[in-house]
Structure 1
Amino acid sequence: MLIFLEACNLDILEVVIDGPFVPTIAGTGDSSIPKPRSDWVSNCKTAKEMWDTLQQMHEGTTDVKRARINTLMHEYELFNMKKKESVNDMQTRFTHIVNNLNALGKVIDNEQQISKVMR
């Protein structure tokens, strides 16, 4: 999201983070801000509100992050290959869990991952 905003305009990230700025809908003269596609931001009045809402929805509060990490760690710990599951599907599922943990700041090193899959 940060890269996208910087690519739109060098100053737009500053405006979004610092606010207040009332964006216009794409197609009404200002094409640098895309039309919102989600109900999450449809009630927001400023770019700052949109940014905060999107950040909250995708990252959540500290408690939400902690709960997500706990849930994903539980999935990781109980991970095993399901019956009639291909190796590719198993690897995709495992990678999804590990990537989500990494995104939340819980890094599992490669040695542990390999060990887990081999078990």
Structure 2
Amino acid sequence: MAEDSELWDIVLDGPFIPTKEVNEGEITRVIPNTRQQYDEAERKKIEKSYKAKKLLVCGIGAEEYNCISACESANEIWDCLRTTHEEGETIHEMSTRFASITNELRSLGEPVHTSKQVRKILRVLPKSWSSKVDAITEVKDLKVLTMDSLIGSLQTHEMNRNQEESKKEVKKDKYLSLKVASRNTSNEE
């Protein structure tokens, strides 16, 4: 948005593709223009699509570049990054994906020290986990904390959060049931 407000629209909505209508008897089809058919306004819009993609690519780290390198547009990159960093990913799924990345780096001669791995994991957790991240950072010595210990602690916290969410859902369902029951009772009276 700070670079150009239209770029964010391109990231969210997808790239501009110049098209034309072609009549084939009773059927009208919309097909993409060739590069030679672009007018100046279309070229500017296409340029913005590339600029949006460039900004996203330049704004990510080397680890994430591997995930998005095959993406054709800023919209595809955004969808890939959003999926990768979705809060719906479990700690186990995240740690498995992270281990895969660090194993690849190790095989390429770039081992990542455990303390750096721990800090990276804590840094990528969603904001809703900030209290747990703060607690681990304050209580544990991050230089000696093992990945197994960190992942175990995070999985325990995740399990507790899921149980609390389940309890809230049950209470909400009971409240709604009581509310509906009380409405039916008042209607009958």
Report the TM-score range of the alignment, normalised by the length of the smaller protein. 0.3 to 0.5
Of Structure 1 and Structure 2, the greater helix share is in: 2
TM-score when normalising by structure 2: 0.32
Structure with greater strand share of residues? 2
Which protein is bigger by CA-based radius of gyration?
Answer: 2
